[in-house]
Structure 1
Amino acid sequence: MPESALSWRALETRVGLDALPDFHRAFLHWRGVEGVDAMPLRRVQQRVEAELNRMVQGDLAAREGDDWRLIPGALEGFEAAAPYLPEAPDSLPL
């Protein structure tokens, strides 16, 4: 995994606890998961982890303990993440 890999847990920390449920729902919408708005919060959290694991299978991330390290560009197109991403140009969604 490249040094510039983005920690999912660090990203969640930047988002903040109050905004995290909406961020997770936006992530699931971006990933194409249906019925997100009707899901209970716990189910949303489970689906986020499932999608992150799918990203691992697609070589967009690597699992490290209870974290996922996302390769640069893995969140391309996920506009809701843009305000929380590091300033490095290769981590910004296009």
Structure 2
Amino acid sequence: MSDVHFDHSEAVGKLNDLIAETTGRQDALNQRLPHFPQAAAGRDFDGYARRIQSKLATIHKLRNYRLQNISNSARAAIAEFDAAKATDEGSAAAFRQFEIGEGK
């Protein structure tokens, strides 16, 4: 069986950095909502302008959704690292009860 080693602080730190970066990207994304003015499509093309605006809004919503999923996944990974650390510490504490050494 192979050993699994990880630095809890480093892993959680990197995941927290990812969450912070993702939050920053979401904030930047939401500072400027997409807008396609109907006049930009030209006279008699109001229907096209509305559809373009609708597609831009959908793209914006999907980008927000994906960024939120990244943050949620990072938070879930942090919880898994925390659980692994707690399990490892619990196992180590249980084994410390026994003194196994030379001459015993």
Q: Given the two structures, how large is their TM-score scaled by the length of structure 1?
A: 0.27
- Considering only CA atoms, is the larger Rg found in Structure 1 or Structure 2? 2
Higher percent of residues as helix: 2
Higher percent of residues as strand: 1
Q: Given the two structures, how large is their TM-score scaled by the length of structure 2?
A: 0.25
